[in-house]
Amino acid sequence: MKIHPTAIVSPSARIGEDAEIGAYVCIGSEAQIGPRNVIQSHAVIDGLVRLGPENRIGHGAVIGGAPQDLSFKSDTRSGVEIGRGNVIREHVTIHRGTTEGSFTTIGDGNFLMVGAHLGHNCAIGNKVIIANNCLLGGYVTVEDSAFLGGGCVFHQFMRVGRLAITQGNAGFGKDLPPFVIGAGVNRVVGLNVVGLKRAGFGPNDRKEIRAAFALLYESGLNTTQALEQARAKTWNPPAHAFFDFVAGAKRRGICGIRRASDKEFSPVE
């Protein structure tokens, strides 16, 4: 391993083979750094942080900081778990869980761009892209292969479905279903057709996803009515997963379709 002489690494921290620790990095006593991680200058890894192999942590990133929760107690045992092959760029902040034994989690192969913030207890899947200056509140869930555009904000406890994509500077306080394009404030503007093709979805699956989208958003039915009609049909797995996600949106509800009469940034409903 390579540890710069100016880095401060606790003797109790566990550092894997072939890891590189840059100048002025601070690593706390409970950190577990897997093999072949590269941690660039001025990064801080503190608290119970578990890094899998082959991650790249950018300059000035802070991982494992205390959650921004007024009820948090400093002696709470919580942490951050990160998989393998992630790129976490400069000045990203990832806060640890807010309750005893809880974790903020990040899967494999994700790309978090400059200045992104993950609040406590967020759960990020695999191959997610989070662009510059995105802000995720506590307990936000982001499923595999989603793309969060630059400057977007996400309210606590909301969910972003698989392969969803959001336009920059949008805001969401309701769940964003899989495969859709989100924009404005709590609005869906269409399907991520290009993303579906790139992800290898065949013509039949794409056709069913379009039918599922139309039933939910273009039929004139409310969500409960659309789900009732969906249950009466047999769907391919992707379309079935779409409706499963919608049915699970009990806490926040789902983002609505943007109509021609909607203002670009209407107040949150």
Q: What is the pLDDT of residues 106-151, one digit of tens each?
A: 999 999 999 999 999 999 999 999 999 999 999 999 999 999 999 9
Interior angle at CA 39, CA 35 and CA 43, nearest 5: 140
C-alpha distances out from residue 72 to 10, 29, 95, 98, 100, Å: 25, 21, 12, 6, 10
pLDDT of residue 263: 59
Query: Which residues on neighbouring strands pair with residue 175, listed in sequence order?
Result: 254
Please give the DSSP secondary-structure letter assigned to residue 124: E
Quick one: average pLDDT of 67-90?
A: 98
% pLDDT > 70, the chain: 96
Note the pLDDT of residue 260.
Answer: 63
CATH superfamily of 2-139: Hexapeptide repeat proteins (2.160.10.10)
- C-alpha distances out from residue 40 to 22, 105, 194, 260, Å: 5, 21, 34, 47
159 pLDDT band, cuts 50/70/90, is very high
Query: Would you state the CATH architecture of domain 197-247?
Result: Up-down Bundle (1.20)
Helical (H) or strand (E) element with 105: strand 103-106
pLDDT at 188 over 50: yes
Concatenate the DSSP letters of all residues of 142-177 into one string.
E-TT-EE-TT-EE-TT-EE-TT-EE-TT-EESSBB-
* pLDDT for the residue 219: 97
User: Is pLDDT at 78 greater than 60 in this prediction?
Assistant: yes
At 259, the pLDDT band (50, 70, 90 cuts) reads confident
pLDDT (0 to 100) of residue 265: 43
Please check the confidence at residue 63 and state whether its pLDDT lies above 60.
Answer: yes
pTM tops 0.85: yes
Contact 243, 212 (CB under 8 A): yes
Q: Can you tell me the mean pLDDT for 52-68?
A: 98
Cβ-based neighbours of 59, under 8 Å, separated by 6 or more: 22, 40, 41, 42, 43, 90, 91
Residue ranges in the chain assigned as alpha helix (H): 193-198, 203-217, 223-231, 237-247
- Average pLDDT for residues 213-242, to the nearest whole number? 97
Work out the pLDDT band at 268, boundaries 50, 70, 90. Answer: very low
pLDDT digits (tens, 9 = 90+) for 12-57: 999 999 999 999 999 999 999 999 999 999 999 999 999 999 999 9
Name the token pair of 173.
Answer: 């306080």
User: Residue ranges of the domains in the chain?
Assistant: 2-139, 197-247
Given a cut of 80, whether residue 267 has pLDDT beyond it is: no
| Mean per-residue pLDDT over the chain, rounded | 96
Q: How far apart are CA 108 and CA 138, in angstroms?
A: 20
